[in-house]
Structure 1
Amino acid sequence: MSNASINPATPQANTVSGLAMGAIIVFLLSYLIPGTITLGTITMGFPRLVLTLAFIPSVSLLLFSPRYKLTWVDGMVICYAFWVFLSVLINNGLPRLQFAGLQVVETLGAYALGRIILSQPEAYRFFWRFFAYCLLFITPIALIELTTERFILFELLGPFIDIHGNATIGYPARLGFDRVQGNLEHPILFGVFWGFGMMHFLSVFDSRQAQFFFASCCILVVFTSLSSGAYLALMIQLALLSWGVMSRNRWKLLILLFVISFLIVEVLSDRPAIIAISTRLAFSAGTAYWRVLIFEYGMMNVWDNPIFGLGLRDWVRPSYMGSSVDNQWLLTAMRGGFPAFFLQMGAFAMMIFMLVRRKDLSPVLQKYRRNYLIGFVGLFVALGTVAVWSGTQAFLWILLAMGTNFAVAPSAATEESPQSELADGQGSPQRRGASYTRQNTLHPPATVYRRPHDAPSRAARHALKRDGPFPTRLRSPT
């Protein structure tokens, strides 16, 4: 089997299976329900419930099905999930076994599910189109919550399910508005989650009007979260998109300019460049100040626990600081140590490397790749200023799986190959390419012989060379 998860030569390659469509619909709809369900002693959100049910079949297919070829990214994700599981058990013991297992479900389970159900470009297209329709559903709800302080989903679903525990907590107003958390546990998660879709809408919708409409809805919904991290992700995506259009995709030049600028800030600033940049992207000087303190004390905890991290133990900090860590990558290192951090970064870097080096993708996949990478880079930078958890964290691994599927997609030449090399079950050779007529009979395509005894004898080859493709008696008089 080739690197592609499904042979592109088969008729099913250009369609999405009913099972994959159903899994995509159920998975995305689970995010619209802002509540939890209790199964025995386990309380989980609906996205986590879907991932738990799909964990065993998804991981089994990824590891053992001949349709799927394991990559370095797959291996790093598996090792990361195992290391996070081990770190929680070492630091917190068997009482937190349940949480450790759910972390594996939200990382490896989400990644494996994405690799399976999004293995075809058409599945990717269907996924983001349905995501756009979910966005249309949530847009008026977000606007009502922004302007009236009414939590609509709580009013509608509260009598039937347990809504997230902090759903009724009033967050401090920003820019004169109340922050919207909509269908998720926190306004930050709400803004980051719905911001995932903007660049992908430019890929999966063909008309300019649809692209503009859904991208505008995405920007509007992200605005209602009033989260600087979510804003940062959108601004980076828009900036990269503008650069690609104006420079005609001169990405190497952009990388060079970024490195030079980063080094200049590192030399001239009185603090690390990453801190100097992130603090200027905050809503207020107070938020910027807390980010500096979180980074400094967070790194101190990482160096004190470099191998297995802290797990779920509390981190050392001054008494006046809260427990929140607004940096996804720093939080990974604090919980799982340097091995977890480098395994996660290694998976992201390897996926990007595999994807960028592909020079043989079809034009459609090239467009998907460009927009995907722009969205992924914007999100990657933004997660240096916010942290995600629960279903939003699982969605991050779904995105990684999408990139891996693009990286192992069949080449454009493979997609155009015939479905079978044999015309029948007897093993007779099938002539490839365009047929030839009497206009080009003097130079017919060469015949490929599968077995030595199928080739003509030396005398026959000599006669063919002497008389041409047709015997002399069959030639028309000139």
Structure 2
Amino acid sequence: MAYRADSRLAYRMAWLFPGSLIAPSSLTIIVGALTLPRIALCIASVWTVREMWRKLTMGGYVPIASDLLVPFTAAWMLVTLGIHEGTKGLVGYGAVAAIEFALAYFLARVFFGTPTGFQQMVRVLRFVTAILVVTAFLDTVSGQHLAWAIGRGISRALDLARQAPQDDIIVKRFGLVRAQGSLEHPILFGVFFVVCIQIIGFSALRTIEKTFWIGICLLGLILPLSSAPLLSLVISIVTVLFLRAFDRFPWRMLVLVAAAVFALVALFLIVDDPLTTLIQNLTYDPQTGLFRVLIWQWVGLNVERAPWLGIGFADWMRSEEMPSSIDSLYLIQAIRHGLPSLVLLVLSLLSTGVTMPLRPQIRYDSKRIAALRQGLAITIFIVLFNAFTVHFWGAIWTLLAIVLGARAGLTESVYLHPLARDDEPPRTAVSGSVEGSLRLKRTLRRAIPG
């Protein structure tokens, strides 16, 4: 029996994640590391393993480079934590982050990696975006992070967490609270909706539906009052317009990347202090941007001392007036787990379109698959850009893995027959019987004159 994707099961898995993101991030159990989305991922892993086994044994699997790099990234993170902290490090937040990254990747890889499965995820994601925008609007109206406070109150009242979530820190801009809804931070909230705009914009929804839901996402992007999501939106719009304008030019992506690299190199050659110049012109508050420059300088000194294994979650060397937070995914990976972890993570982001077939494969190209892969490629490019000044954790860290897994699955789908991709839903017994009756009637008419 040949492999066929199960789009109905994909819809159920989408309710586990990303559907569980509507739960407040502060609603945690045990030592504050397990949130409801993480628990949902653990539950979904049962079906993920089963579906992966089906793909391997029934001819539905084509190796993708990220299938190796993502587990290697998670494994390196776990190894370094074990070296620095022993068995204690394998049950804390760092270990949870490594495991959820791999689980979310393979969840999307097997369930959301076909056009039909991806559309099932979009059906649920629309509901999630609507709920999150409501929670963010309530933050703005109430002047506090309301959903976060509710989750923290439930955890403390029911004694679900041995270590209660820390008190909320309210930050305002232009006299308004920076909304974060059910997620962990206002910046992450804004980046989440940039990703959602790409996912919904390249989906198979009708134009009027796309317009409505993108409008909802734009509202969610604005409410956090953060410059990083807005700049990411501008970059994504310019990228989409460029790709559409040169749709028939096969090397358009290489030209775009080359232009970006040229602009970056020119900036560093012409301007005396390019990093400070970028920060002063591309942020709402230049003071917070200049603070990030100091973080890069101090983290660089720490990485020089432990380039291979990092320092784990130990306190890092810095000036006395600086807090312990690090606002960069790249810096976090390097200082906690060493430069190899950073390299593995970047390669994971860049390798979802690289196939490693064991034998010659027949291609079943589809315009829909090409559009979805392009949209997710833009999303990954946005993440690569944001990772310089944003540390991804919690919901957006897991969503990043979902994006990688979905794009790897769509790369594989090019080599799967449309029936294996479940591009056309199976006929029901009723429709099959009706078609059989009509076929029988046509046969009788031809056999019996008059």
2:48 to 50, 55, 58: 58
Q: Which has the higher contact order (CA 8 A, sep 6+)?
A: 2
Which whole-Å CA distance do the structure 1 matches of 2:280 and 2:166 have between them? 27
Q: Does 1:169 align with 2:169?
A: yes
Which whole-Å CA distance do the structure 2 matches of 1:138 and 1:63 have between them? 35
Which whole-Å CA distance do the structure 1 matches of 2:151 and 2:179 have between them? 17
The 1:278/1:90 distance shift into structure 2, 3 A limit, reads: farther
TM-superposed CA distance for 1:275, in Å, is 6.1
- Structure 2 counterpart of 1:89: 82
TM-superposed CA distance for 1:389, in Å, is 1.1
In structure 2, give the amino acid aligned to 1:187.
Answer: P
Query: TM-score of the superposition, structure 2-length normalised?
Result: 0.81
In structure 2, give the amino acid aligned to 1:130.
Answer: V
Which whole-Å CA distance do the structure 2 matches of 1:92 and 1:234 have between them? 40
Conserved? CA contact 1:138–1:182, under 8 Å: yes
1:153-164 matches, cutoff 5 A: 153=147, 160-162=154-156
What's the secondary structure of 1:351's corresponding residue? Answer: coil
In structure 2, give the amino acid aligned to 1:241.
Answer: V
User: What is the number of residues matched between the two proteins?
Assistant: 402
Which whole-Å CA distance do the structure 2 matches of 1:241 and 1:231 have between them? 15
Which whole-Å CA distance do the structure 1 matches of 2:33 and 2:351 have between them? 35
Q: Does 1:76 align with 2:72?
A: no
**Pairwise CA RMSD:** 2.9
- Structure 1 counterpart of 2:262: 260
The 1:303/1:275 distance shift into structure 2, 3 A limit, reads: farther
Q: Does 1:193 align with 2:192?
A: yes
Conserved? CA contact 1:107–1:394, under 8 Å: yes
Conserved? CA contact 1:278–1:288, under 8 Å: yes
Conserved? CA contact 2:232–2:382, under 8 Å: yes
In structure 2, list runs of 5 or more residues that go unmatched. Answer: 158-163, 357-361, 423-450
Which whole-Å CA distance do the structure 2 matches of 1:323 and 1:74 have between them? 33
- Structure 1 counterpart of 2:29: 38
1:189-338 matches, cutoff 5 A: 189-248=188-247, 250-271=252-273, 276-278=277-279, 280-338=281-339
In structure 1, list runs of 5 or more residues that go unmatched. Answer: 420-478
What's the secondary structure of 1:415's corresponding residue? Answer: coil
Deviations 1:212-252 (A, max 9, x none): 21112111111111222222222211121222234446333
Q: Does 1:400 align with 2:404?
A: yes
Which whole-Å CA distance do the structure 2 matches of 1:214 and 1:263 have between them? 37
1:330-349 matches, cutoff 5 A: 330-349=331-350
- Structure 2 counterpart of 1:23: 13
Deviations 1:328-359 (A, max 9, x none): 1121111111110111111222224559xx98
The 1:199/1:322 distance shift into structure 2, 3 A limit, reads: same
What's the secondary structure of 1:196's corresponding residue? Answer: helix
Conserved? CA contact 2:133–2:181, under 8 Å: no
The 1:317/1:29 distance shift into structure 2, 3 A limit, reads: same
Conserved? CA contact 2:145–2:170, under 8 Å: no
Deviations 1:307-340 (A, max 9, x none): 1111111111111111111111121111111110
- Structure 2 counterpart of 1:128: 122
Conserved? CA contact 2:194–2:232, under 8 Å: yes
The answer to which of 100-109 and 235-244 deviates more is: 100-109
TM-superposed CA distance for 1:194, in Å, is 2.7
The 1:277/1:150 distance shift into structure 2, 3 A limit, reads: closer
The 1:42/1:24 distance shift into structure 2, 3 A limit, reads: same
Give structure 1 regions of 4+ aligned residues with deviation exceeding 4 angstroms.
154-164, 273-276, 352-355
Deviations 1:44-92 (A, max 9, x none): 1111111233346535754784243443211111111111001111112
Query: TM-score of the superposition, structure 1-length normalised?
Result: 0.76
TM-superposed CA distance for 1:387, in Å, is 0.5
Conserved? CA contact 2:32–2:165, under 8 Å: no
Which whole-Å CA distance do the structure 2 matches of 1:256 and 1:359 have between them? 29
TM-superposed CA distance for 1:150, in Å, is 4.7
The 1:287/1:200 distance shift into structure 2, 3 A limit, reads: same
Which whole-Å CA distance do the structure 2 matches of 1:159 and 1:97 have between them? 28
Which whole-Å CA distance do the structure 2 matches of 1:396 and 1:144 have between them? 26
The 1:387/1:325 distance shift into structure 2, 3 A limit, reads: same
Deviations 1:176-225 (A, max 9, x none): 31111110122122222232210111222433222121112111111111
Q: Does 1:366 align with 2:367?
A: no
